[in-house]
Amino acid sequence: MSRKTIDRRRFLRATGAAATVTALAGCSGGGGGGGSDGTPPGDDVEAADSIQFITESTAPSEALQSIVGEFTEETGIEVEFTLSPLLNYTEQLANDLTSQSANYDVAYVDPYNIGAPYYTDLEPLNGYIEQNDYDYEDHIEIHRVACSEFEDDGTIRGLPYDCPTILLAYRQDVFDEYGDQATSDLGFEAEPNPDMTWSQYMEVARWITENVPDDMVPYGTGHMAAQHQSLANEFEMIQWSFGGTQLEGFDGKDPILPDDISAGFTDDASMQAAEFYQELVNDVAHPASTTWDWGGVAQAFANGEMAMSPQWHENSGLFADPESSEIADTVRWTLAPSGPAENRNVQAHYGGSSIGINAHTTPEKKKAAWQFIEWTTSEEIQYRLLSEVGGTPTRQSVYDRDDVQAASDQTAGESEYPNVSPPIVEGWDLDNIGQRPHHPDWLQLEQVIYTEGSAMVSGDQPAADTMQACADGFSNIL
């Protein structure tokens, strides 16, 4: 990201010339003027007795709120939570950072909505980590790369906190009863597995819809294809697996971009991915797919409406709960299918976030905020949040515990910790995982993807026209 771009945007804000961004797109820009050099408050500074924490309304944050009284008992520091849906949280926090009001001392840092555009408004944490012997390297590499570091100089702006990841969920009962016949008819292994391709996935989904009785399962697959960020996330994973690009030179891997970047989408691989996705959603998937975001498709899968579906892995607890799921005993997980790309193998989509400190708050608040995020991201609290079926650990040391290893080998319905039943650690391998770029305008860029993608899967726009429209939309913003 160009430093010139950041400085220009600060100037526009200061002079009142910056365009107003709609609530739908969130607030995007280049940061609000910088905060501090990251030197931790000295011993002469006493931690504040209360701090304000803003976070997206996620299962980990709701679980954290339920136990945060223990932190207050240990430290005397009260933590007041503000939980909001993604775009509301983004707007509230972005406004606070750019105005330097410091109404929020500590923040959930979505790397795309907040981290990339506003990282200069987040306190550098390297000095805090060194001073307190915090074991940052215990966090698995993808979490550090995707959520904590937004510059190429190793500056750390947040500590890894949550880690939703798109994998593939499916129903074992359907394949136990019909898998052999599907395998025989199709000529390849029908039950989802890490070697399955997206083309095979579509064939299996179509076979199930046509051959399995509706009273067992009405559709082979369902998707998060509403005009929503969920559609962009799902298509991005497929596009990367086909070898396509959204930005020239970016393949879903290294999130830190060069200074000059241009639009992608018009390459042959992206065209093939778009044609595939349009056919999958239009002709094969549950017809309600174009009305579902990630929450809608998760509940539909839990209701038994499809046999297979790409899902954020943190829905595993929902699927495993017999009070909220009709298929609790039969849910299984595997890596998402692969595409025809030969140079990489994206079979998962990373969506995690970190927790950071507002660079514009007071030294007293910073000291208290550090204690909170140090406690929140510690091995013991990550383990507690896993037990509450809230968070999923980002620390390797939690996965090294005997009971967590045992839970990882069990099905979601059997496991004491259903969030580790999906093969997330395998999905997080850098050869398997895809992640979005750290671009300051990513909210607006991704809105182009799901707006044009929605027109495509709704049947209003051919795949080739959609990719060209995405390229044009990116070019206008870039």
pLDDT in tens, 22-62: 333 333 333 334 457 889 999 999 999 999 999 999 989 99
**Which residues lie below 8 Å from residue 137, measured CB to CB, with a gap of 6+?**
none
Residues 345 and 355 in one domain: no
Q: Is residue 382 part of a domain?
A: yes
Residue 460 has pLDDT above 90, yes or no: no
Q: Within this chain, do residues 198 and 156 fall inside the same structural domain, yes or no?
A: no
Check whether residue 71 and residue 154 sit in a common domain. yes
Q: Map tokens 């002709």 to a residue.
A: 283
Report the domain count for the chain.
Answer: 2
The pLDDT assigned to 36 comes to 76
User: If you average pLDDT over residues 252-266, what whole number do you get?
Assistant: 91
Alpha helices in 254-302 (DSSP H): 268-279, 294-302
Shared domain for 448 and 301, answered yes or no, is yes
Q: How far apart are CA 46 and CA 366, in angstroms?
A: 10
The residue-averaged pLDDT of 242-249 equals 93
DSSP string, 62-127: HHHHHHHHHHHHHH--EEEEEEE-HHHHHHHHHHHHHHT--S-SEEEE-IIIIIHHHGGGB---HH
* CA nearest neighbour of 192 among 209, 174, 213: 174
For residue 307, pLDDT beyond 70? yes
Share of the chain above pLDDT 70, in %: 92
For residues 175 and 211, membership in a common domain is answered with: yes
pLDDT of 35 reads 56
Lowest mean pLDDT among 11-20, 96-105, 302-311, 313-322: 11-20
Inter-residue contact 264 to 244 (CB < 8 Å): yes
d(CA 95, CA 474): 24
- 192, amino acid identity: P
Is the per-residue pLDDT at 3 higher than 50?
no
- Residues 64-97: pLDDT tens digits? 999 999 999 999 999 999 999 998 999 999 999 9
331 and 262 housed in the same domain: yes
* Residue 259 parent element (H or E): none
pLDDT single digits (tens) 338-361: 998 765 579 999 999 999 999 999
Give me the CATH number covering residue 61: 3.40.190.10
Same domain for 185 and 260, yes or no, is: yes
By the 8 A CB rule, do 282 and 457 touch? yes
Site of tokens 């030179």: 249
Residue 160 has pLDDT above 90, yes or no: yes
157 vs 115: CA distance, rounded Å: 8
Lowest-pLDDT choice from 157-171, 251-265, 459-473: 251-265
Range(s) of the domain holding residue 73: 33-163+351-400
Is the domain of 139 the same as that of 176?
Answer: no
Q: Are residues 381 and 244 in the same domain?
A: no
The answer to whether residues 243 and 360 belong to one domain is no
For residue 6, tell me if it sits in a domain.
no
172 pLDDT higher than 60? yes
* pLDDT at 440 > cutoff 60: yes
- In this structure, are residues 382 and 395 in contact, taking their beta carbons and an 8 Å threshold? yes
Q: Compute the average pLDDT of residues 284-311.
A: 98
pLDDT at 10 over 70: no
Nearest to 170 by CA among 193, 186, 150: 193
287 and 394 housed in the same domain = no
**What does the DSSP 8-state code read for residue 343?**
S
For residue 204, being part of any structural domain is answered with: yes
Q: What is the pLDDT of residue 171?
A: 98
Q: Whole-prediction pTM value?
A: 0.90
Determine, yes or no, domain membership for 114.
Answer: yes
Mean of pLDDT over the chain? 91
